[in-house]
């Protein structure tokens, strides 16, 4: 089966299927070992962004974590941040942080990713 996003993996969905078909049912949790592996790879990606002095991803969700091969997770859609487009998830995360735009929205978004995996 072709690999797609983490969201596709959670929903056992064919990546090329229409959105409404793929995600009409609730996703299933991943085995703990797979969740830990994916979570640590996502954290490494976020760490690279932070270490490079770049702005937070701001649009992290299971659809933006690509699974190009078994056991591999890659962040995607960072270009929106570089183009200074303020992603919707960034605004949602700031509201969760109590309106504190100095907080890191990726922390909140990563929590959502973890919640969906387990």
Per-residue tens of pLDDT for the chain, all 118 residues? 568 999 999 999 999 899 888 898 888 999 999 999 999 999 999 999 999 998 888 889 999 999 999 999 999 988 766 666 555 555 665 566 565 555 678 888 899 999 999 9
| Distance in angstroms (rounded) separating the CA atoms of residues 8 and 39 | 16
Question: pTM of the entire structure?
Answer: 0.81
Residue from 54, 59, 68 nearest 15 by CA:
68
Helix intervals (H) in 11-117: 19-22, 32-51, 79-82, 88-96, 105-117
| Distance in angstroms (rounded) separating the CA atoms of residues 60 and 109 | 6
User: For residue 25, which phi and psi values (nearest 5 degrees)?
Assistant: -105, 155
């Amino acid at each position: 089966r072709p690999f797609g996003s983490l969201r596709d993996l959670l929903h056992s969905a064919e990546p090329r299927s229409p959105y409404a078909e793929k995600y009409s049912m609730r996703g299933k949790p991943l085995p703990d070992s797979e969740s830990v592996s994916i979570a640590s790879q996502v954290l490494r990606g976020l760490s690279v962004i932070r270490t490079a002095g770049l702005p937070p991803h701001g649009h992290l969700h299971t659809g933006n974590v690509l699974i190009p091969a078994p056991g591999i997770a890659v962040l995607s859609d960072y270009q929106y941040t570089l183009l200074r487009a303020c992603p919707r998830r960034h605004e949602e995360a700031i509201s969760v942080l109590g309106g504190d735009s100095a907080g890191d929205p990726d922390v909140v978004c990563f929590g959502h990713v973890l919640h969906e995996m387990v």
